[in-house]
Each structure stands twice: as structure tokens, then as C-alpha cells.
Structure 1
């Protein structure tokens, strides 16, 4: 966690942004979340703290996206979902009916992404692997 915080502080300095306790608190909260999250999830976690406003949360999310510490991932059309970029590579199975998201580890896909990137002269920064379909529950319910 400390290395990620230092990376964010370095990013903020390079960008000429202030390093505030509130921004660091938002980052720490993001790092404590397992899996995907929405901005509203963060807002709920800070409801009892008057020193961290919704605006601060949204602005910090934008900075975290820009820094590459989080990325926008699977989302419905109304609310973006985010995930940390630190940690192992994984893919997503997404149900087209109910929106359920299942994460699965998949190193083979990462190897394929590297191979394709090299073949076309790209420097791979990150990749997404998403499979869309109908989950078991929706199929059982006839949806």
C-alpha cells in the first residue's frame, strides 16, 4: 500500500496538484476495496467524515484514473465501475441480463495480449478481457 501511496503522491506533484489528507484517505479506501466498486460505494464509506466531500471523492477518482492506479471497467450506461490496477491479471464474465460480474484469474490471456502487442509494435500498458453471456441463475429463471 505504501508504494502505491508514494506513486500517487509523485503523480500529484508532477501534475502540480495539492497533496491533501482527503485525497490520500480516498486512495487508502480504494485500496481496501476488494473487487469492483462505484463512486457511490466510496461516498457511502465516507458518510461519517465531514472532511471528505462527494466532490473530493469524484475529483480524486478522476486523478486515480489519470494516474493509472485504477481503471474504469465493466459498467452499465449510468454508473461507471472501477477496479484497482495493482494485483494480478483477471478477466470478467458479465451477464447481459442481470449485470452480474464474475472475476476469474487468467494468465494465458495476458500472454496472448503481450504476443499480439509485440506483433503489431505496441507497448502493452494494460488489457481487458471480458466475456458477455447469460449467467446460470438467469438461464434457470428463463431470462
Structure 2
């Protein structure tokens, strides 16, 4: 479902400008982690990011570096983390069209979805309670079709 309206080169350029304006330093490791997340069709764990860096880009990223970096990205609202209930956080860029997740509690499969009716209903609930909705995360846990048919 990840549909980015910005090229990786533009995204990376904007990121570097934002980091510089914030007074932080950029690094090649940050660039590669962003690249891995940008081009992935999955929600990746820190371990998966390390493995992709080694296998695809021949870069040796330490796991501590990845954890520090994704934490930094989360603080800048560039990355969102997702906990599927197995104790391992997974990460995705926060630049795609808003979507929610369904997670299979059997196999861990993550299905992204959008639903205008659900979005509208959340707005109505917030309005009913005089609550200004800024953002939300919806995660539905259940059993995917593949696991149901096993």
C-alpha cells in the first residue's frame, strides 16, 4: 500500500535540510536506514534493517545504531513504529497516505488498509466529545485468510 508522492532523492534532500536546521548531524547510516525503509514493502524490525543493510548494500550497521536512529526518526515524526504483539517493534516511514493495520495473531502478517467510513466515524466520535482529533493509530488483531484456511 505504500504510495509515496515524493521521490527518494527529494525525501532524502528534505530530511537532510530538516536535520541541519534542527542542529543535528546527518550520517551515511541514517541515509541507508531511510533508504531501506523507503524501498521496503514490509514493516521492518531493527534486525531486518541490519540484515538488509548487510545483504543489499554491503554496509555493516550495528543494531544499537539502528535502534538509536529509528528512535531519532520517531522523535522527528519521520518514522512510525508498530507493535504486533510479539515483543518486536517494526518500523515504517511516516510519509505514505494515512492507513491502519490488521495484524494476524497467528502468523504476524500485517495488512494495511484505509476506510473512509472508519475515518469519518472517528471524526464524529471526537466531535461528540468536544475532542480535537490530531492523529490516530488503529490496529485490528485477528486471523488472516491464509491462516483461517490452513
How does the TM-score come out when normalised to structure 1? 0.77
CA drift at 1:41: 1.4
Over 3 Å counting, the alpha-carbon distance change for 1:118 and 1:80 in structure 2 is same
**Alignment of 1:122 onto 2:129:** no
CA distance in 2, matches of 1:4, 1:114: 30
1:30 aligns with 2:40: no
Query: What runs of 5+ residues in structure 2 fail to find an aligned partner?
Result: 1-7
Corresponding residue number in structure 2 for 1:103:
112
Count residues in correspondence: 139
Aligned-pair CA distance for 1:38: 1.0
Corresponding residue of 1:67: 76
Higher relative contact order (CA 8 A, sep 6+): 2
The Cα shift of 1:118 comes to 4.8
Corresponding residue for residue 43 of structure 1 = 50
CA contact (8 A) 1:36 1:83 kept: yes
- In structure 2, distance between residues paired with 1:74 and 1:128: 11
Deviation at 1:35, TM superposition (A): 3.2
- Aligned pair partner of 1:93 in 77, 102, 109: 102
CA distance, structure 2, for counterparts of residue 37 and residue 23 of structure 1: 15
Residue deviations 1:80-118, cap 9 Å, x none?
011221111222222222322222232333333344445
Deviation at 1:132, TM superposition (A): 1.8
Question: Shift of residue 12 of structure 1?
Answer: 2.7
Task: Judge which range, 36-45 or 98-107, deviates more.
Answer: 98-107
CA distance in 2, matches of 1:8, 1:110: 29
Gaps of 5+ in 1: none
